[in-house]
Structure 1
Amino acid sequence: MRRRPTLKVWALVPALALVLAGCGDDSGNGGAADSGPELVNDGKLINCTGLPYKPFEYEENGDVVGFDIDLVDLIAKKLKVEQEVVDTPFDGIQSGADFNSGKCDISSAGMTITDERKQNIDFSDPYFEATQALVAKKGSGIEDITDLAGKKLGAQNSTTGYDYANENAKDAEIVNFEDLGLLLTAVESGQVDAGINDNGVLYDWVNEKTDFEVVKEFDTGEQYGMGVRKGNTALLDVVNEVLADTKSSGEYDKIYEKWFGTKPPAK
């Protein structure tokens, strides 16, 4: 499914369009049927995300592509609509502000399910396992977060990596960046001595930036979920149904291998 170019600013989206049509009709039918979730704009499933976050979501040749985007395409197909992606700062997603203002219906943003975020948004069932990791230039002598005393550690705003850095790298100077692209540019240019973020995006980056390496993973046991507005059970039911069907059919494994070059870890 081809997607329109991402929008940096979403204007004139009526917040009242978020009112739900209900989880089902009198016959018990629900999900993506006519009695299913109402969307911000008819004919579209608007997905708020923060770019770039390769290989989960990033721009390529004018389209937004990636692992998350392929999964949301399947949800849009179930709803018989087209996915449209809105690029927006991550804080507005995890705080729930983007849903409450009517900016989007759903968010796939490589977003870890946390108790704090559950107070602001509702999450789908987990669909990806991740952990925090540390990236640095080869030969830097940095092998762990404890080696960053007196050095600069880059982290992405409002992420679990930022939280982990502040809790565990107390002797380092934490430098905060708005998005992953700015963070990795700072690592590459030497503006910071190392960067912390989810392992999936860092391993993807060092595949291209061969002067750098993931020097350490931290067992944080994180799981990604897709977010929707608090109380939007009609849409959440469809999301969970599609994720379950995708896994049982083997489609999830194909999409995973497409973007990560390997099958999902065995459980």
Structure 2
Amino acid sequence: MPLAAAAILTVAGCTSTKPTAAGGSEIELAKAGKLTTCTHLPYPPFQVKKEGKVVGFDVDLVDLVAKELDVEQEIVDTPFEGIQSGEDLNAGKCDVAAAGMTITDVRKQNLDFGAPYFDATQALITKKGAPYKTLADLKGKTLGVQASTTGEEYAKKQANGVELRQFEDLALLLTAVKTGQVDAGINDNGVLYDYVKQNPDTEVTAEFNTGEQYGFGVRKGNEALRKKIDEVLEKAKSDGSYDKIYEKWFGTTPKK
């Protein structure tokens, strides 16, 4: 998103784990014995609260990193703006940003990403049977977008003659589609397909080839933690752990 990069602040009060990164560098954590993750709820199946606990695809992957560091993951629910701008990481609010977040050039100015771990694209969701298969079909109609997302940016550029209505989070956006407050909504395909499985009165009517990839973010310059995340994800993909987690949350294994 075109947001100004936040100033890099000195993180005070950090604690260190044992030396685990390449070259013997220590990984600094915001809280002793915790790998603190900033996310923005709800965004199922990547992160969602169920029975008082935050679970999801991203949660399980970051748990692998926490296990490798011999600490527990602690999740902080915070507005997406502070995550993708790097402000939460800079202030020491968390160690990792894991929020189904697309890697973009603008975001790279604000935080450092690990290697991509999930392929995504934008998609259109409507009430079942609605006649909207393209953005052009929505001319003169209303399209719901989630604030500060790549879906919102795509709609601003491509949805000519369409009225955009902004929502703070995914749940509000999807409720607006389901109840007819907007004619359609745009967001990442993974979360929309997850929603329609539970809400058969809605459907995904189109995908747009935006070629997006998700990444976990760390504070700018935090190379030790970034490298550790990459190391753990690479191992998970080679030993089958990633595929098992993927199938758990998406009901299928990833395309090779």
Unaligned runs of 5+ in 2: 1-9
Aligned mates of 1:248, 1:206 — CA distance in 2: 31
Is 1:170 matched with 2:144? no
* Aligned partner letter, 2:255: P
Q: Is the 8 A contact 1:154 1:177 kept in 2?
A: yes
Deviation at 1:15, TM superposition (A): 3.4
Q: Which one of the candidate residues 180, 185, 192 is aligned to 2:170?
A: 180
Instruction: Tell me the number of residue pairs that the alignment of Structure 1 and Structure 2 aligns.
Output: 247
Identity of aligned residues (%): 61
Aligned mates of 2:235, 2:219 — CA distance in 1: 23
Q: Is the 8 A contact 1:15 1:103 kept in 2?
A: no
Residue of structure 2 in register with 1:224 after alignment: 214
Deviation at 1:96, TM superposition (A): 0.5
Residue of structure 2 in register with 1:146 after alignment: 136
Q: Is the 8 A contact 2:30 2:95 kept in 1?
A: yes
Q: Which one of the candidate residues 157, 162, 184 is aligned to 1:194?
A: 184
Residue of structure 2 in register with 1:17 after alignment: 13
Is 1:111 matched with 2:107? no
Aligned alpha-carbon RMSD (Å): 1.9
Q: Which one of the candidate residues 7, 21, 43 is aligned to 1:31?
A: 21
* Aligned partner letter, 1:17: G
Residue of structure 1 in register with 2:150 after alignment: 160
Residue of structure 1 in register with 2:7 after alignment: none
Aligned mates of 2:206, 2:227 — CA distance in 1: 37
Q: Is the 8 A contact 2:152 2:186 kept in 1?
A: yes
Structure-to-structure mapping, 1:40-189, within 5 angstroms: 40-189=30-179
Deviation at 1:189, TM superposition (A): 1.2
Specify whether residues 234 and 175 from structure 1 end up closer, same or farther in structure 2 by C-alpha distance, changes over 3 A only: same
Q: Secondary structure at the match of 1:221?
A: strand
Q: Secondary structure at the match of 2:30?
A: coil
1:76-107, Cα deviation, whole Å (9 max, x unpaired): 00111110111111111110011111111001
Aligned mates of 2:57, 2:49 — CA distance in 1: 12
Question: What is the TM-score when the length of structure 2 is the normalising length?
Answer: 0.92
Runs of 4+ off more than 2 Å? 29-36
Deviation at 1:253, TM superposition (A): 0.4
Q: Is the 8 A contact 2:14 2:31 kept in 1?
A: no
Question: What is the TM-score when the length of structure 1 is the normalising length?
Answer: 0.89
Q: Is the 8 A contact 2:25 2:224 kept in 1?
A: no
Aligned mates of 1:139, 1:214 — CA distance in 2: 10
Deviation at 1:30, TM superposition (A): 3.2
Deviation at 1:229, TM superposition (A): 0.5
Specify whether residues 32 and 258 from structure 1 end up closer, same or farther in structure 2 by C-alpha distance, changes over 3 A only: farther
Aligned mates of 1:103, 1:80 — CA distance in 2: 20
Q: Is the 8 A contact 1:136 1:212 kept in 2?
A: yes
Q: Is the 8 A contact 2:118 2:215 kept in 1?
A: yes
Residue of structure 2 in register with 1:9 after alignment: none
Q: Is the 8 A contact 1:17 1:38 kept in 2?
A: no
Unaligned runs of 5+ in 1: 1-13
Q: Secondary structure at the match of 1:15?
A: coil
Residue of structure 1 in register with 2:242 after alignment: 252
Q: Secondary structure at the match of 1:47?
A: strand
Residue of structure 1 in register with 2:3 after alignment: none
* Aligned partner letter, 2:242: Y
Deviation at 1:16, TM superposition (A): 1.0
